[in-house]
C-alpha cells in the first residue's frame, strides 16, 4: 500500500507502547487512526499526541477479550471514518510462572487476549477487506513466538507462536486478493508491558531473548510498521539479528537448546 495519505487504520492496544508508536508513525503519514484500548486515559492521550502534530485520530473503549468487541470496533470505525484500510492487532499481555504453577484458567485468559483476539479480528474485518479488494493486516507477535527463550511464560509464547502461524496462513490466502499481511515480531521494546504482568508461583529469573538484541523504542517500531505496510513485507522483526539466530536453531536444534541451558541470558535475577 504505497499511498498512505487519507487511509484509515484501526490499532488495538494503541494507548501505550508499540501500538501508540505505530499510531503516531502512521498518523504522521496522513493515516487517520482509530485508537482502541481498555485504557481510556491512555487512548485519549494518544489521540491528543496525534492531534498536536496535525493528525487525525479517535479513541474507542475496546476489550479485545470480548467476543463482540471487534465487530463493534469495525462498526464504530466505519461510522467515524467511513472506511478501514489497515487493521493492526496489537494489544496483548504477558504472564510469568513456571508451567506447573499456571492454572488452566490463566492459560485460557492469556490465549483469549493474545490469540483469540486475532481470530475475532479476522471474523470482523476479513469480509470487509475481501469485499473491497484491498487492505493491510498487521499482527503483533513476538520473538517469544519465533523461538522459546524462557520457560516461565509458556501461555504467552504459545499464543504468539500461533499468531505467527495464523499470519503466515493469512498471507498465503490474502496476498492474491490484494490484501497485505505483516507479522510484526518485537524483541525487547521499551513499553509498559511489564505493568500488567500477572505472576504465579515462586519468582523466577527474567530470561531475555538474547544478549545481541538492544532495547528498541516504540517510535522505531512504529516506523517499521509504516515501511512494512508501504512495501508489503510479511516478517518484520524489530531486530534483524534474530534471523541468523533462527538459522542456528534450524541447523542444530539440540545444540541451540543446550546453548540456552548452559548460558541463559538473565536480564534480571529473581527477587
Ligand atoms: N514490549 C516488548 O518488549 C514486546 C516484545 C514482544 C512483543 N510485544 C507485544 O507488543 C504488543 C504491544 O505491547 P507493548 O509492549 O506495547 O505493551 P503496553 O503494555 O505498553 O501496551 C499494550 C496495550 O494493550 C492494551 N490492552 C491490554 N489488554 C487489552 C485488551 N483486553 N483489550 C484492549 N486493549 C488491551 C493495554 O491497555 C496497553 O495500552 C503486545 O502484543 C505484546 O505482546 C511486546
The answer to whether residues 94 and 140 touch, using CB atoms and an 8 Å cutoff, is: no
Domain-located, residue 1? no
Distance in angstroms (rounded) separating the CA atoms of residues 35 and 47: 7
| Backbone phi, psi, residue 83, to 5° | -160, 160
Whether the predicted pLDDT of 87 surpasses 80 = yes
- Average pLDDT for residues 197-211, to the nearest whole number? 92
pLDDT in tens, 149-175: 999 999 999 999 999 999 999 999 999
Q: Which of 191, 225, 239, 242 to mutate to test the pocket of ligand 1 (most atoms within 8 A of CB)?
A: 191
User: How many domains in the chain?
Assistant: 1
Q: Which of 87, 186, 218, 238 to mutate to test the pocket of ligand 1 (most atoms within 8 A of CB)?
A: 186
Domain range spanning residue 97? Answer: 8-268
Enumerate residues 6+ apart whose C-beta is below 8 A from 201. 97, 98, 100, 101, 102
| CATH code, 194 | 3.40.50.720
Domain-located, residue 2? no
pLDDT in tens, 224-236: 999 999 999 999 9
Domain-located, residue 3? no
pLDDT at 194: 86
pLDDT at 271: 73
Q: Which atom of ligand 1 is closest in space to residue 93's alpha carbon? A: 43
Residue 59 pairs with which residues in a beta bridge?
35
Amino acid at each position: 500500500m504505497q499511498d498512505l495519505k487519507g487511509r484509515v487504520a484501526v490499532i488495538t492496544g494503541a494507548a501505550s507502547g508499540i501500538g501508540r508508536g505505530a499510531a503516531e508513525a502512521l498518523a504522521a503519514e496522513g493515516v487517520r487512526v482509530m485508537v482502541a484500548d481498555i485504557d481510556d486515559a491512555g487512548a485519549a492521550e494518544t489521540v491528543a499526541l496525534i492531534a498536536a502534530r496535525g493528525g487525525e485520530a479517535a479513541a474507542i473503549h475496546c476489550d479485545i477479550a470480548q467476543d463482540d468487541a471487534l465487530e463493534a470496533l469495525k462498526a464504530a470505525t466505519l461510522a467515524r471514518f467511513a472506511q478501514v484500510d489497515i487493521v493492526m492487532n496489537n494489544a496483548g499481555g504477558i504472564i510469568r510462572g513456571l508451567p506447573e504453577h499456571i492454572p488452566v484458567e490463566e492459560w485460557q485468559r492469556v490465549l483469549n487476549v493474545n490469540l483469540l483476539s486475532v481470530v475475532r479480528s479476522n471474523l470482523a474485518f476479513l469480509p470487509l477487506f475481501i469485499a473491497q479488494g484491498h487492505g493491510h493486516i498487521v499482527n503483533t507477535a513476538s520473538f517469544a513466538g519465533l523461538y522459546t527463550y524462557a520457560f516461565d511464560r509458556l501461555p504467552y509464547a504459545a499464543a504468539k507462536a500461533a499468531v505467527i502461524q495464523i499470519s503466515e496462513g493469512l498471507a498465503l490466502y490474502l496476498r492474491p486478493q490484494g490484501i497485505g499481511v505483516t507479522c510484526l515480531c518485537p524483541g525487547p521494546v521499551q513499553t509498559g508491558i511489564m505493568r500488567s504482568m500477572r505472576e504465579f508461583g515462586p519468582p523466577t529469573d527474567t530470561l531475555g531473548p538474547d544478549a545481541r538484541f538492544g532495547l528498541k523504542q516504540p517510535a522505531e517500531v512504529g516506523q517499521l510498521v509504516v515501511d512494512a505496510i508501504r512495501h508489503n513485507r510479511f516478517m518484520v522483526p524489530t531486530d534483524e539479528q534474530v534471523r541468523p539466530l533462527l538459522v542456528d536453531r534450524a541447523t542444530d536444534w539440540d545444540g541451540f537448546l543446550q546453548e540456552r541451558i548452559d548460558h541463559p541470558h538473565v536480564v534480571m535475577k529473581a527477587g
